[in-house]
Amino acid sequence: MELTFLGTGAGMPSKRRNVTSLMLNLMPERGSYWMFDCGEGTQHQALHSTVKLGKLEKLFITHLHGDHLYGIPGVLTSRSYQGGDTPLTLYGPRGLKAFVETALGVSDAHLAYPITVVELEEEGVVCDDESFTVTAARLEHRVECFGYRIVERDLPGKLLTDKLQAYGIPKGPLYGKLKEGGSVQLENGTIVHGRDVIGTPVRGRTVVILGDTKYCEGALRLAHGADVLVHEATFAQNRQELALAYDHSTSVDAARVANEAGAGTLILTHISSRYQEEGADALLREAQELHPDTHLAQDFWSYHVPRKSPNQ
């Protein structure tokens, strides 16, 4: 599981930062990518990364401001050209379906795959399968805006080979049955249960990706105990009033959410173009004073989401 930032700017593109888009690389887990927001030029940004749009499985939109969705038509058509022929599902606020259908209809675009648009009417579970659960909650922004909490299911523990050998269980079909949690009876009559020869389950990871928002209760709920929190940091703390006026966050607001929610790694994104290299570093330092485990995202930067040991 890895996060790749295709765009980390706010409002409008700059020479250093394109507008918002983030890829969650799930190729090892399920052979696909999930995209979160799709600002203008995202298809071009993907060309400069290792991301394969043909493997895009889901696209989550936080809200319908242009810097978060103007890139959708280009990404959808590029996916066809890059060999994408499997179904694609889009999630987002009311109005997303009309935007997609209008853009594709007016431009007479033809996709080589079916798409489904799921408009979010309320908070709660957005999608749920054998490997991940995604939950959405409302944030506080000028338009309806959602954040997403992605929870990976726990993986079963490994077979404890030393215990298997102590029981004298030979390699083969019995291993598989025990791995699935079943029980086997040995020639001497001993019954061995899977739970007795399987190690501690591997805890699934939790990643939270927020849309534009000021400090709010929805952000805290989503971020609770997350391994990684991706939070906007449009302004520095000395522009707190401006942030509140436009329903955005400062770097300190983001760090405050991470701390109060008990989140692990905080990643700042959606940086105003007024903050060039030195100014952006100042945003990072402000957040790190409150939440030391903080990173500042850059376009094309990737972050590997590590697994924690069972006792963490």
Bigger pLDDT: 242 or 295? 295
Are the C-beta atoms of residues 299 and 8 closer than 8 Å to each other?
Answer: yes
162-166, 268-272, 307-311: range with lowest mean pLDDT: 307-311
Q: Which of 157-171, 176-190, 211-225, 272-286 has the highest mean pLDDT?
A: 211-225
Confidence of residue 311 (pLDDT cuts 50, 70, 90): low
Q: What is the pLDDT of residues 8-64, one digit of tens each?
A: 999 889 889 999 999 999 999 999 999 999 999 999 999 999 999 999 999 999 999
Are the C-beta atoms of residues 136 and 123 closer than 8 Å to each other?
Answer: yes
- Enumerate residues 6+ apart whose C-beta is below 8 A from 250: 233, 234, 235, 236, 237, 239, 240, 243, 286
**Alpha helices (H) in the chain, listed in sequence order:** 27-30, 42-47, 66-69, 72-81, 96-106, 161-167, 173-179, 217-223, 240-245, 251-261, 277-290
Structure confidence at residue 312 (pLDDT):
52
Q: What is the pLDDT of residues 129-153, one digit of tens each?
A: 999 999 999 999 999 999 999 999 9
Position 126 pLDDT exceeds 90: yes
How do beta strands 146-152 and 132-138 pair?
antiparallel
Structure confidence at residue 309 (pLDDT):
64
Distances from the Cα of 266 to the Cα of 59, 119, 120, 272, angstroms: 22, 28, 26, 18
Triad 232, 235, 240: Cα angle to 5°? 115
DSSP strands (E only) in the chain: 2-7, 21-26, 32-38, 56-60, 88-92, 115-119, 124-128, 132-138, 146-152, 183-185, 191-193, 206-209, 228-232, 265-269, 294-296, 302-304
Estimate the crossing angle of helix 251-261 against helix 277-290, to 10 degrees: 30
List residues with catalytic annotation. 67
Strand-pairing partners, residue 209, are 148, 230
Structure confidence at residue 176 (pLDDT):
78
Are the C-beta atoms of residues 75 and 56 closer than 8 Å to each other?
Answer: yes
What are 217's two structure tokens?
């209760």
Delimit the domains of the chain by residue range.
2-155+201-304, 161-196
- Which residues does the annotation place in the binding site for Zn(2+)? 63, 65, 67-68, 141, 212, 270
Confidence of residue 252 (pLDDT cuts 50, 70, 90): very high
Structure confidence at residue 174 (pLDDT):
81
Bigger pLDDT: 103 or 277? 103
Are the C-beta atoms of residues 146 and 93 closer than 8 Å to each other?
Answer: yes
pTM: 0.89
DSSP state of 20: P
Smallest CA-to-CA distance from 60 within 227, 175, 211 is with 211
Smallest CA-to-CA distance from 22 within 79, 74, 61, 65 is with 61
Structure confidence at residue 71 (pLDDT):
97
Structure confidence at residue 87 (pLDDT):
97
How large a percentage of the chain has pLDDT more than 70? 99
- Distance CA(209)–CA(2), nearest Å, equals 13
The fold of the 2-155+201-304 domain, in CATH, is: Metallo-beta-lactamase; Chain A (3.60.15)
- Distance CA(194)–CA(182), nearest Å, equals 5
- Distance CA(50)–CA(6), nearest Å, equals 10
Confidence of residue 75 (pLDDT cuts 50, 70, 90): very high
Structure confidence at residue 229 (pLDDT):
98
Q: What is the pLDDT of residues 150-194, one digit of tens each?
A: 999 988 888 888 888 888 887 878 887 888 788 888 888 888 888
What rounded mean pLDDT belongs to the chain? 93
3-class DSSP state of 143: coil
- Distance CA(49)–CA(117), nearest Å, equals 26
- Distance CA(51)–CA(56), nearest Å, equals 9
